[in-house]
């Protein structure tokens, strides 16, 4: 039997979440190795200088240690064309890919920067938590505007919108784990906020079967367990 690709992951890490989502949607079987970040196994350290999750080691030994690259590898390796049809191959998806990459990059840079300060405001006493939230909200507002636009386009069909069309895109998968973190910092405030479409979009993602499947708990992987 051919060995499976190995995925080093941490359940609550948003970068790892989006990698697992793409692997699940693309039906890519992997050997899941759950890592405790304070006890990173030597096997992970040996293949990745970054030593951050997620890290994927493919069957031929190639190491992919950027979450977005893992997503693209998974969707391009799909055993059927289902994932490619929805995420990359359809003409309108292909045209929008540069725009998706731009939004993902903004999520990973500016939004993540302010999200960390909002979530861990006590570590950054230069400003108040409210200030950090307001800076992070600039990105949330951009998502709300995009979803509102998509909702208007689909008003006659009542299709629930995604960020770039009426189909879930790589951008949706890559971004919503971070919005989940943002919402969880002060869930009461978030649920009372004015971001109606973002709240509906996030709720659909969190209630999806794909998300439930990739959030199943795994025991910590230890090298002594390897046979």
Average pLDDT over residues 128-140: 98
What domains can be seen in the chain, in order of their start residue? 6-83+213-225 (3.40.30.10), 90-210 (1.20.1050.10)
pLDDT at position 78 is: 67
pLDDT at residue 48 is higher than 70: yes
Q: What are phi and psi of 50, to 5 degrees?
A: -65, -35
Tens digit of pLDDT for each residue in 152-182?
766 656 667 899 888 888 899 999 999 999 9
Residue with more model confidence, 87 or 102? 102
What span, in angstroms and rounded, lies between the C-alpha atoms of 173 and 78?
Answer: 16
Whether 79 shows a pLDDT value over 90: the answer reads no
pLDDT of 93 above 80: no
pLDDT at residue 223, rounded to an integer: 83
Determine the Cα angle at 159 with ends 158 and 165, to 5°.
135
* pLDDT at res. 50: 86
What's this model's pTM, rounded to 2 decimal places? Answer: 0.90
Say if residues 173 and 71 touch (Cβ distance below 8 Å): yes
**pLDDT for residue 81:** 41
- SS3 sequence of the chain: CCCCCEEEECCCCHHHHHHHHHHHHCCCCCEEEECCHHHCCHHHHHHCCCCCCCEEECCCCCEECCHHHHHHHHHHCCCCCHHHHHHHHCHHHHHHHHHHHHHHHHHHHHHHHHHHHHHCHHHCCCCCHHHHHHHHHHHHHHHHHHHHHHHHHCCCCCCCCCCCCCCCCHHHHHHHHHHHHHHHHCHHHHHHCCCHHHHHHHHHHHCCHHHHHHCCCCCECCHHHCC
CA distance 125 to 118: 11
CA 106 remoteness from chain centre:
13
């Amino acid at each position: 039997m051919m060995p499976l690709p190995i995925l080093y992951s941490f359940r609550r890490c948003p970068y790892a979440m989006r990698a697992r989502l793409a692997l699940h949607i693309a039906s890519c079987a992997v050997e899941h190795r759950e890592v405790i970040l304070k006890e990173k196994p030597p096997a992970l350290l040996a293949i990745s200088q970054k030593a951050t999750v997620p890290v994927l080691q493919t069957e031929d030994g190639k190491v992919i240690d950027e979450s977005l690259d893992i997503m693209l590898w998974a969707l391009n390796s799909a055993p059927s064309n289902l994932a490619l049809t929805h995420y990359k191959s359809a003409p309108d998806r292909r045209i929008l890919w540069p725009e998706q990459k731009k939004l993902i990059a903004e999520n990973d840079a500016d939004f993540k920067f302010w999200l960390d300060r909002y979530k861990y405001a006590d570590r950054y006493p230069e400003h108040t938590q409210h200030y950090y939230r307001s800076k992070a909200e600039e990105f949330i507002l951009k998502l709300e505007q995009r979803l509102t636009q998509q909702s208007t386009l689909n008003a006659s069909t009542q299709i629930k919108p995604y960020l770039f069309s009426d189909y879930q895109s790589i951008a949706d998968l890559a971004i919503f784990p971070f919005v989940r973190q943002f919402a969880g910092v002060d869930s009461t405030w978030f649920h009372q906020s004015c971001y109606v479409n973002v709240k509906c979009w996030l709720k659909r993602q969190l209630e999806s079967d794909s998300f439930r499947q990739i959030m199943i708990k795994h025991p910590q992987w230890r090298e002594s367990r390897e046979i």
